[in-house]
Amino acid sequence: RAAAFSGGASGEERRRRPAKERKMAKMEVKTSLLDNMIGVGDMVLLEPLAEESFISNLQQRFDHGEIYTYIGSVVISVNPYRSLPIYSPETVEEYRNRNFYELRPHIFALSDEAYRSLRDQDKDQCILITGESGAGKTEASKLVMSYVAAVCGKGAEVNQVKEQLLQSNPVLEAFGNAKTVRNDNSSRFGKYMDIEFDFKGDPLGGVISNYLLEKSRVVKQPRGERNFHIFYQILSGGSEDMLQNLKLERDFSRYNYLSLDSAKVNGVDDAANFRTVRNAMQIVGFMDHETQSVFEVVAAVLKLGNIEFKPESRVNGLDESKIKDKNELKEICELTGIDQSVLERAFSFRTVEAKQEKVSTTLNVAQAYYARDALAKNLYSRLFSWLVTRINESIKAQTKVRKKVMGVLDIYGFEIFEDNSFEQFIINYCNEKLQQIFILLTLKEEQEEYIREGIAWTPVEFFDNSVICDLIENNTGGILAMLDEECLRPGEVNEATFLAKLNQVFKEHKRYESRVTQNAKRIMDASLLADCFRIHHYAGKVTYNVTGFIEKNNDLLYRDLSQAMWKAKHELLHTLFPEGDPEKVSFKRPPTAGFQFKASVATLMKNLYSKKPNYIRCIKPNDTKKPAVFTDILVRTQVRYLGLMENVRVRRAGYAYRQAYEPCLKRYKMLCKETWPHWNGNARDGVQALLGSLLIDPKDLAYGYTKIFIRTPALLFNLEDQRQRRVEELAALIQATYRAWKCRMHYQMMRKSQILIAARFRGHMQKKKYSKMKMASLLIQAYVRGWKSRKLLRELKEQKRRTQAATIISAYWKGYQSRRLLWELKEEKRQARAATTIGAYWKGYQTRKDYKKYFRSGASACISTFIYRRLVQKFLLGLKNNLPSMTVIDHTWPPAPYKFLTDANQELKKIFHHWRCKKYRDQLPPQRKTALQDKLCASELFRDKKSLYAKSLSQPFRGEYLGLKENPKYRKLQSTADGKLVMADNVRKVNRGDGKASPRLFLLTKSHVILADSKAAQPKTVITLSDIDGVSVSRYSDGFFVLHLKETSTAGSKGDFLLISDHLIELVTRLHQTVLETTKQKLKLQVTDEFLVKFKQGSITVKVVETAEKQGTAPICRKKGSHRMEVLVH
């Protein structure tokens, strides 16, 4: 089909298209749910509808990487156990603001539908994610939250709320998830999060509720599984100092509560995850001392497992337990601040209070181990609840305005194991309630849509599981009520009496079975043991072993241990056990685990009923956690557990497919001549005309107010087949039309080319003919000019020959005259030289004769000159051996040994110092040279002029004082500087009216000065360097300066700027250098105590006055009348 719409273009032409054009064309393609469909994207359209075809369709889509499938508005998600490229930001934008059925099935489509319903229709939403362990529920909830975070509003506060909501997941996963046989990151608690939004759809905060943490995992784990992640993360990722403070060792084998056969998980880095958790806790809002307290409680739980007991007989014959090694107990007490004797007694004795009487009994070894494990489970469970409460405090909405709510429920799926206990019983009870609300709300939604569209509603037959829910939760005759009754009943209570009571009450119940009820009905079933009962759930039959039901439902913690924990000096541990306060002792029995969970489920159901539900059903394709492996039996079991076939039947009870008139007409309008290519009426009439022309049985159609309803999937697929054939016909028509147009264009182009070529050829021939004629004329002209030139040359040569002959004769004559004159002069000179030589000899004789008289008088001068030269040579050689060090700050110099060498010694000192400075400068790095040049420039500007200069000598010029790169708040300012930043500093701008100072951000770039708001980090004033006229400062040690602007400056419309800086010397120096570099002109710097400043209303005089009274560190500006301002400095 793509080739048909390509218009017959060749592969070469398509390759020549610009890449940007091809990319835009690709982005404009919209893929409908029905286009290029692998299998059936919506199970409502599956024909025939059977469990085999259902599973086969899921496998076909899974094998092609399509892990999402719809059942109406329900999303089925099959865990791929590998990364898929379908969650990128481009995919988020693709599904943003799109109709639910417009694109192929995806979890983003459901997330977008829920978010837009909440934002635009003001309907509270909830997303229910169910499935068994390892099916991908936690990842699905993360994807929903990440999508909502990506499409909602932006801004600093909104981003902070989104980040806190997202970062709450790693914290809860570390403390509530564990490695199981089925899943390396299995959630061992149920989580429901309400995300709160404002009227614009921006997140304000959230509230998290947790359900039934599997605290029994703290003390015992099944083979091949681990304890909660946080224990392994602390031991792997904690620093040596941290472990020492927590009194822990890195070796896992040192702790009895940690399973050793699965301590290490392939592909899981516990140390890196620990760093992630600590960072997440910091982002969510945990203080450092709170984080430390949490880790101390975790360490105490871990060390509780190492406490061991030994039996000891008392005098009265009763057995008593004693702690074998008290070192672990001592370290726990040091961590928690508990008196060691109090905790030791709580592990050995139990106090029972009744009617003002106290009875203390000893605990045997078994009871002591039970007390230890009960304390560890309660301690960890309460810590987890405290973490949820603390996270809620951080992420809750801070405003009291009306909020919209989107709930995300990530809870256990239906569980059937070989040995099902109390945990599976209440988990399956919760799933029964969720199935009940799903069926009721789905039927309600269907019925409301039919009524809204004006179509008659046909009652639907479906399995109502309220009888199962009533069997479990009935307040008087339910299983949970009877379990609570057994726990409270005096006398001997055990699981056998509880099971006997169930058999008696439910012996006629169709959904309950046990060995006793089967025997009464003469049914033999070896799989149903004597200590078990069976319930026929909506998803299948589940056999529960009653062993441990009463103990797990009681969930008792001895009062002595509660009081010991309350007495702890550890603040967090103290708050976890409020019932341990002796002044608030309650003799009322605490609520059972079953009662608490039932109340939580009731609250959850009430919450879900108040919102519009959206469903994600997660399926695990195999037990080996391998990609591309689809186990038919396992998936079939989960399909039954989740009741997916029931979902499809409810959805298909009336009309299998419905669509709004506008997209329906747009998709199928090419099937009718009346509607193709354009329909001018309303969409409903168009669809009626379209479907009426196709001879479709009216019984298979229903026309609502806004939607068309189609009864059978076969009719829809028939429409798709007709559309496909029509599209191919239209593609052929488009190809033919395009080829005809291309041929016409080709002919017209050839005709134009022929005319152009002929015209160019005729022009070329005329140009060639003209060139030949021009060359001939030029050749004739050249020959004529050559003949004339040669004739003139001969005449000139003759004239020149005659002139040269006369010149030669004249030259010979002049030479003869000159040589004769020269001989005469030489003769006269020879005679004169002879006379001079004779006179010189005579004078020499007379001089030598007279010199003998004065020889002795000249010897002293000669000797003194020799001595002077020797002294100078000795001084220079001594100076060579005693030169000072090469340090430029060393000003020592050997003194002159003789007074006459003093001036020379000072000159040599100057020369040596200059040479030493040059050597020092040559070895400096470029950055240090630049810093010294800046200091030199500052010296030239302020030395002996301003008192502040002396204080700035020891302060290096940093240039950047704001931390633009580290602080994301200043990211926009950094982009404004665009890599040309010279200096960034905090300044205070003085108000021209009242003299008050307000903070500003001062940015100096290569071309501008930028003044920005310090809170919003937004530029307020941008000044071009060429608009700066000068700077005025005082001569005192203050940071006050005036930035004078030229009158033609647009930024100076309100006048000059009065600013205060803590780095005045550096700021003015860098401004001077930058202005000189940019404008090739020096900055005008005025150092005076009184100067004129131009304001918008006129000019005023600013006078700087030094005061002895110290009124803060910054200068104080006071307005004195309308034309004068005083600046007080100290």
Task: Using DSSP bridges, classify how beta strands 190-197 and 186-187 pair: parallel, antiparallel or unpaired.
Answer: unpaired
Which position among 139, 415, 445, 495 bears the catalytic label? 415
Return d(Cα 647, Cα 616) in angstroms, integer: 12
DSSP string, 228-254: BHHHHHHHHHS-HHHHHHTT--S-GGG
Residue 896 carries which DSSP code? P
Longest dimension (CA), the chain: 174
Going by C-beta distance under 8 Å and a sequence separation of 6 or more, which residues neighbour residue 269?
A: none
Which position among 77, 79, 111, 133 bears the catalytic label? 133
Return d(Cα 560, Cα 344) in angstroms, integer: 10
Task: Determine whether 413 is an active site residue.
Answer: yes
What are 1106's strand-pairing partners? 1129
Render the burial of 303-333: b for 16+ CB within 10 Å, e for the rest.
bbbbbebeeeeeeeeeebbebeeeebbebbb
Closest listed residue to residue 1022, CA positions, set 992, 1001, 991, 994: 1001
Tokens at residue 167, please? 């970062």
- Contact present, 338 and 332 (Cβ < 8 Å): yes
Which position among 413, 643, 654, 1052 bears the catalytic label? 413
- Contact present, 528 and 543 (Cβ < 8 Å): yes
Closest listed residue to residue 989, CA positions, set 1057, 1065, 914, 904: 1057
3-class DSSP state of 1091? strand
Which position among 183, 273, 465, 1032 bears the catalytic label? 183
Return d(Cα 428, Cα 262) in angstroms, integer: 28
Task: Determine whether 610 is an active site residue.
Answer: no
Residue 1055 carries which DSSP code? B
Task: Determine whether 407 is an active site residue.
Answer: no
**Cis ω for the linkage preceding 677 (within 30 of 0):** yes
DSSP string, 953-980: TTS---SB-S-TTT-GGGHHHHHHHTT-
Dump strand ranges (E) for 456-576: 512-514, 532-537, 540-545
Return d(Cα 501, Cα 535) in angstroms, integer: 15
Task: Determine whether 810 is an active site residue.
Answer: no
Task: Determine whether 753 is an active site residue.
Answer: no
Going by C-beta distance under 8 Å and a sequence separation of 6 or more, which residues neighbour residue 811?
A: none
Task: Determine whether 134 is an active site residue.
Answer: yes
Rg (CA), the chain: 50
- Contact present, 632 and 623 (Cβ < 8 Å): no
From residue 1048, alpha-carbon distances to 50, 537, 1007, 1028, 1072 in Å are 84, 86, 17, 10, 21
From residue 338, alpha-carbon distances to 15, 326, 331, 372, 563 in Å are 78, 14, 10, 15, 11
Please name the helix (run of DSSP H) or strand (run of DSSP E) that holds residue 651, with its range, or none. Answer: helix 644-651
Would residue 345 be called left, alpha or beta, if left means φ above 0 and alpha means ψ between -120 and 50 degrees?
A: alpha
- Contact present, 429 and 601 (Cβ < 8 Å): yes
3-class DSSP state of 149? helix
- Contact present, 302 and 257 (Cβ < 8 Å): yes
Going by C-beta distance under 8 Å and a sequence separation of 6 or more, which residues neighbour residue 354?
A: 587
Task: Determine whether 183 is an active site residue.
Answer: yes
Tokens at residue 460, please? 């639907």
Task: Determine whether 133 is an active site residue.
Answer: yes
Catalytic residues: 133-134, 138, 183, 186-187, 413, 415
